[in-house]
A = this chain, B = another copy of it.
Amino acid sequence: MRILIVEDSEDVAAAITAALGRAGMACDRAAGAREAQDYLAAETYDVVVLDIHLPDGDGRTILSDLRRAGSRTPVLMLTAELEVSSRVNALDAGADDYLVKPFDLRELEARVRVLGRRGDSAGSARISVGDLEFDQAARTVRIAGAAVALTRREVSLLGLLVARRDRIIAKEQILERLFSMDEDVGLNTVELYVARLRKKLAASSVSIVTHRGLGYQLTAPDG
């Protein structure tokens, strides 16, 4: 899951990045309105976390520009004000959700996850494919009921594959969803994690199929 955080405060941005990163989301951070516009033009994000107050502009402007451009990317607004008016403003401008500062990081994480799921058609937090059960919230994986130990990155990768089962995902897409911008990582890394995941899922009925030049695909027999 790829997240853009638009927030001028260094500390707040770092805290959000850390929390979401721990939840397996790849976060890019823009410190201002202009930077945010650039990122949004260059990349596709699953969710945008947008501070309403920015040094070089208003978050609502970014939001309405984004919507005018036809983007439906879910946006969660951060507002410092408690007034009803500002939250009505935010929702009117096209935000999907809002949080009032100061907020609980876990709540932010939960809401971001909810928004991120909106994009996928997969609704539930617990998904089964073949004899494999994937619990997104608990970040646990079971094969025929038996727990499998995965690392953070492996869980993230499996989450991607499970969310788009039977569909082919390009390696570049996986890279983008797994790593943030400032993690300069080679494409080979994706192959590596696919290999590691395959090894750990060897006992399962699902398998990760390679499509040369296209990407990877998670499949289950009869599925």
Contact = CB atoms under 8 A, between A and B. Distances in A.
Contacts of A105: 172
Interface string A127-169: 0000000010011100000010101100100000000001110
10 closest A-B pairs by beta carbon, nearest first, are A138-B167, A42-B102, A152-B213, A41-B100, A44-B104, A43-B104, A139-B168, A138-B168, A139-B214, A152-B214
B82 A37 contact: yes
Contacts of A38: 102
Interface of A: 19, 22, 37-38, 41-44, 82, 100-107, 135, 138-140, 147, 149, 151-152, 155, 166-168, 170, 172-173, 176, 211-214, 217, 219
Given A41-B82, A151-B213, A152-B214, 8 more contacts: A38-B102, A41-B103, A105-B172, A138-B167, A139-B211, A140-B217, A147-B219, A155-B214
Q: Chain A at the B interface: mostly helix, strand, loop or mixed? A: mixed
A159 to B, nearest CB: 13
A155 B211 CA distance: 11
Residue with the greatest number of chain B CB neighbours at <10 A, chosen from A107, A176, A211: A211
Contact of A140 (B100, B138, B139, B166): B166
B213 A170 contact: no
Contacts of A135: 167
Contacts of A41: 82, 100-103
Given A82-B37, A139-B168, A140-B166, A22 B213 contact: yes
Nearest to A100: B41
